[in-house]
Amino acid sequence: MTFRQFAYRNVVRNRRVYAAFFLASVFSVMVFFLYSMLMFHPGIGERFITGITVIGMTSADIILYVFTLFFLFYSMRAFMQARADEFALLLQIGMERRQLGRLLFFEMLLLGAASIGSGIIAGFAFSKYFFMIVKEVLDLPELPLYLSWQPFALTAGAFLSLFLLIGVMSSWIVRIRDIHDFRKGIGAAADPFDYSATKAAAGLFLLIASYAAAPLAGRVNVLYLAVLLPPAATLGTYYFFSHTVLWVLDLLRKRKSIYWRHARLVSFAETAVKIKDNANMFFIVAIVSTVAFLSVGTLASLASYTAQYRALNPLGLVYLSQPGNPDEQTHIASLERELKQRGLSYEEVPLTVVREHSSFSGQPLNVLRESEVNRLARVLGREGVRLRPGEAAFLPYSPDAASRLEGAEIDTVLEQSGVKVAVRGTMNDLLFPAYALGTNSIVLSETDFIKAASAQADRLYTFYAFDVPNWEETVGIGLGLSARMSQAALHNGEEALPFFFENPGSDYAVIRSTFHLLLLTGLLVAAVFLLAAGSFIYFKLYTMLDRDRRQAAVLRRLGFTDREFVKIVNRQLVPQFFLPWGLAMLHSTFAFLSLQAIWKEITDLSIVKEMALVLIAFTVIQLLYFYLIRWRYLAHVKGSV
Amino acid sequence: MFCSPKAPKKGMNLLPIVRIEDIIKIYEGKVTHRALDRLSFEVTDGEFLAVMGPSGSGKTTLLNLISGIDKPTSGRILVAGTDPSELKPDEAARFRRQELGFIFQDFNLLRMLTVEENIVLPLTLDQVPVKEMDARMRAAAKRLGLSDILHKRPDEISGGQEQRTAIARALIHRPSLVLADEPTGNLDSHAAREVLDLMTAINRENGTTLVMVTHDPIAASYCDRVLFIKDGAYYNEIHRDDRRRTFFQRILNMLSLLGGNVDDLSSVRLP
């Protein structure tokens, strides 16, 4: 048997221990590969929303890489602890430290090669489905599978470097560290109830303070909070696992009437041991899960932006013609023609707009005509407005603006025409998107409007509002106009164009697919995080399995029934699974609360539903994972007593 | 006194507390192994019995059968009037924690519990009031000289103290029978003597029945009777006489006859 064969057999025969480690690595490689496949897709420059897609995929790849590095490093250390006895034996029978280091290096390389191979194969096998999903998400006509060396090279290169790095580190650690340190490391954590009461209290205080401060976030203090809260919550989390939990358990322990009951003696103390031993890991898992929940939650909330897009954009197409626009009729005719070609039914409402200045605010003001606005309202199926001469009403640009302007009473003079108006309240419903007419528009009664319009008869704007019931199908209509708009935006500013054109259906398609793509990316990354977090726990359990098994045998002899034993296992597994995760839930809930506060300022959107959905989905996954691992753990511990 | 005073040694009623009848235990596997072969014996109430035999003679299997951890292939076992092999798993567990006490070679204290917590462990399962648990624990600790280390954990005390803690744990629930598996195997000679003296005293003063499996002829010489088994079958037995020295010698002679490879014998055979 050569040295390399020995390393190989070590891995193959320890496969049960390596399994969780291996699976998480394979999954990570696979997801990395899928992203790379998309990154290098030949069609990417043509049809994709290139920028965001590439940035999203690249950052997801980088996050995956860094995270996998940490995961492997941590697992490697735990694994070395678990095998300390084996190392001690090898050293005792005369293996040199250098050789032991080489053994570990080989093992890591083998594992790396296997993970990379399986990950890439799995990734390639799934890439067809992945592309199908992406195609749906991006609304692309087709996204063909392609074969190129680049994604393969990137994935293999990235992960090979990663495993090499870990291999070198592990062989280095085993050379410099005293094996007996490792041996002591497992489960023999000195006193499980060795904690600092000050730090325990500090942890509790930091967490409660952060939670209390989170919902207070507003536009003003958001910066302070963004700087202060995450570090405070992170430190609080750290103290929570390394001190606060033990403190609480110790308080319970001192009450014999609670502690000396049933299996509690064993299960509480065992929980303390496991938490003490794994405090660092729980801390990492809690923080990583928080980040995962948050990123997916944020993306989900962005995706919900598209769902409410229609509410903010009630019109199918929008064309605003400035005074002296020579192409007005040609443009409108071509839009009508394109709509007819697509077989889309539509209704077209031209509205005359007068640009005025308000003496009240000194701001520019758009003035519209009662009869025309009412016609548009009727077409959109909304409520119209009834004005007496001298009266006016605001046109809200968002639901929030509508409620704010409700009951407003402003008396003002239109400076250009000298018309006096009393603005009384607002129209109830949204008729125009904010970008079309700006944020300051009012409706005038017929007589007042005619006065205002005649004052500057040569400077009238015409606003063409198209109502298209199947507004999502307008993608591509007015492409020429959109192109001129973006050209102008790039060169000399949109002001220079004699018109303004907007196709909300097209915009919607772009926004929707971008967010969905980011969401998909975030979900996959979060899935890798979750799997890795579960693997950490499984792995740690496995490293303590021998000790737990011996203990189970003793308990059995002392007369613990199977039920009591399962209870003990539950009591020590549940905190391991649900404490980091529960804390992550709390963290992200409060973070969402502050996000909600900020969000409200920005877009008038509520994200409670999305947040709840994301958290519920993660809960279900976590529960499944808990039962899976409990089942395996029980089988192992009870197995060979 | 922390254990219920049973009948004093002299007026010992000779009811068997353990009755083993013709038990056979066969382990099926790649190699079928007959661990116990038609073994029969009895242990009377209040007796201190040693079971000796070479490695692999089935001693540990025997303890597992008596405690209901394992079931015999055939034959009958009665412990305190119950056949542990007929109990359902939960009943067997309850039987163990009420009727039996265990002392192990490597003590098997739970490392994360303090001495006092280790001692009360068997009682916590049976809803004993805290006051009584506390009282019993203190009495046992006093008796075994553990009062000063009640709040230490097993890692902080000596092997002898660990084994005394284990003895306290084995006795706290006043079991009908205490099973000891090489209780002195991991102790130095001083601590071993201390533990054996304590076991003898408890047997004498409280009438606790003890069955000890051992390799060590010195340990066996503390008992009332030594049962020898070889290859899972009854080989012979000898009773204690007035002087431990001669009893010890007779045990050695018997072991020589028994042959086998009792490793720790070579050093003691030649005085």
Q: State the pLDDT at residue B266.
A: 43
Å between B255 CA and nearest CA of chain A: 30
Q: Do B111 and A187 touch (CB under 8 A)?
A: yes
C-beta neighbour count of A59 within 10 angstroms: 14
Q: Which of B63, B112, B116 to mutate to test the interface with A (most CBs of A within 10 A)?
A: B112
Residue in the structure block whose two tokens are 């407003």: A408
- How do B33-44 and B48-52 pair as beta strands? unpaired
Contacts of B153 in chain A (CB under 8 A): 191
Report which residue type is found at A632: R
Contacts of A260 in chain B (CB under 8 A): 120, 123-124, 130, 133
For residue B76, which phi and psi values (nearest 5 degrees)? -135, 140
Q: Is B157 on the interface with A (CB under 8 A)?
A: no
Contacts of B152 in chain A (CB under 8 A): none
- How do A364-369 and A441-444 pair as beta strands? parallel
Facing residue for B112 by CB, picked from A269, A562, A563:
A269
Q: Is A252 on the interface with B (CB under 8 A)?
A: no
Q: Is A316 on the interface with B (CB under 8 A)?
A: no
Å between A143 CA and nearest CA of chain B: 58
Q: State the pLDDT at residue A186.
A: 46
Distance CA A169, CA A104 (A): 10
C-beta neighbour count of A567 within 10 angstroms: 17
Distance of CA A468 to the CA centre of its chain: 33
**pTM confidence score:** 0.68
Strands ordered across the beta sheet of B177-181? B100-103, B177-181, B209-214, B48-52, B225-230, B233-239
Å between B208 CA and nearest CA of chain A: 18
Structure token digits, residue B127: 């809803």
Distance CA A321, CA A472 (A): 24
Q: Is B135 on the interface with A (CB under 8 A)?
A: no
Bridge partners (DSSP) listed for residue A422: A391, A411
Distance CA A118, CA A26 (A): 6
Distance CA A336, CA B135 (A): 96
Contacts of B100 in chain A (CB under 8 A): 559
Nearest CA in chain A to B90: A561
State the complex-level ipTM. 0.80
Contacts of B170 in chain A (CB under 8 A): none
Distance CA A502, CA A513 (A): 18
Nearest CA in chain B to A274: B112
Contacts of A187 in chain B (CB under 8 A): 111
Q: Is B215 on the interface with A (CB under 8 A)?
A: no
Q: Is B29 on the interface with A (CB under 8 A)?
A: no
Q: Is A261 on the interface with B (CB under 8 A)?
A: yes
Residue in the structure block whose two tokens are 């990123």: A295
Distance CA A557, CA A445 (A): 93
Stretches where chain A sits below pLDDT 70 are 1, 16-17, 43-53, 137-141, 177-190, 217-222, 299-308, 310-311, 434-435, 492-495, 596-608, 610-611, 639-641
Q: Is A263 on the interface with B (CB under 8 A)?
A: yes
Helix or strand or coil: residue A422?
Answer: strand
SS (H, E, C) chain B: CCCCCCCCCCCCCCCEEEEEEEEEEEECCCCCEEEEEEEEEEEECCCEEEEECCCCCCHHHHHHHHCCCCCCCEEEEEECCECHHHCCHHHHHHHHHHHEEEECCCCCCCCCCCHHHHHHHHHHCCCCCHHHHHHHHHHHHHHCCCHHHCCCCHHHCCHHHHHHHHHHHHHCCCCCEEEEECCCCCCCHHHHHHHHHHHHHHHHHHCCEEEEEECCHHHHCCCCEEEEEECCEEEEEEECCCCHHHHHHHHHHHHHHHCCCCHHHHHHHCC
Q: State the pLDDT at residue A118.
A: 94
Q: Are B37 and B24 in contact (CB under 8 A)?
A: yes
Q: Are A182 and A80 in contact (CB under 8 A)?
A: yes
Q: Is B69 on the interface with A (CB under 8 A)?
A: yes
Q: What mean pLDDT, rounded, does chain A reach? A: 79
Distance CA A511, CA A101 (A): 52
Distance CA B198, CA B192 (A): 10
Distance CA A543, CA A633 (A): 12
Sequence ranges of the domains in chain A:
1-182, 314-507
Rg (CA), chain B: 18
Stretches where chain B sits below pLDDT 70 are 1-14, 260-271
Contacts of A270 in chain B (CB under 8 A): 112
Residue in the structure block whose two tokens are 């660990």: B162
Closest Cα partner for A293 from A518, A619, A560? A619
To the nearest 10 degrees (0 to 180), the angle between helices A562-603 and A504-543 is 150
Contacts of A556 in chain B (CB under 8 A): 69, 93
A45 contacts: CB under 8 Å, gap ≥ 6: none
Q: Do B122 and A559 touch (CB under 8 A)?
A: yes
Give, in order, the Cα–Cα distances in Å from B129 to each of A257, A390, B95, B123, B134.
8, 88, 20, 9, 9
Q: Do A266 and B121 touch (CB under 8 A)?
A: yes
Structure token digits, residue B165: 């803690």
Q: Are B258 and B230 in contact (CB under 8 A)?
A: yes
Contacts of A564 in chain B (CB under 8 A): 93, 125
Q: Are A360 and A411 in contact (CB under 8 A)?
A: yes
Q: Do A562 and B95 touch (CB under 8 A)?
A: no
Q: Are A558 and B96 in contact (CB under 8 A)?
A: yes
For residue A41, which phi and psi values (nearest 5 degrees)? -60, 130
Which contacts qualify for B81-86: CB closer than 8 Å, 24 or more apart?
none
For residue A48, which phi and psi values (nearest 5 degrees)? -70, 160
Q: Is B175 on the interface with A (CB under 8 A)?
A: no
Q: Are A166 and A108 in contact (CB under 8 A)?
A: yes
Q: Is A262 on the interface with B (CB under 8 A)?
A: yes
Distance CA A62, CA A68 (A): 10
To the nearest 10 degrees (0 to 180), the angle between helices A50-82 and A15-39 is 170
Tens-place pLDDT, residues B150-189:
888 888 888 889 988 999 999 888 888 999 988 888 888 8
Facing residue for B93 by CB, picked from A262, A273, A561:
A561
Q: Is B117 on the interface with A (CB under 8 A)?
A: yes
Distance CA A595, CA A608 (A): 10
Contacts of B121 in chain A (CB under 8 A): 265-266, 558
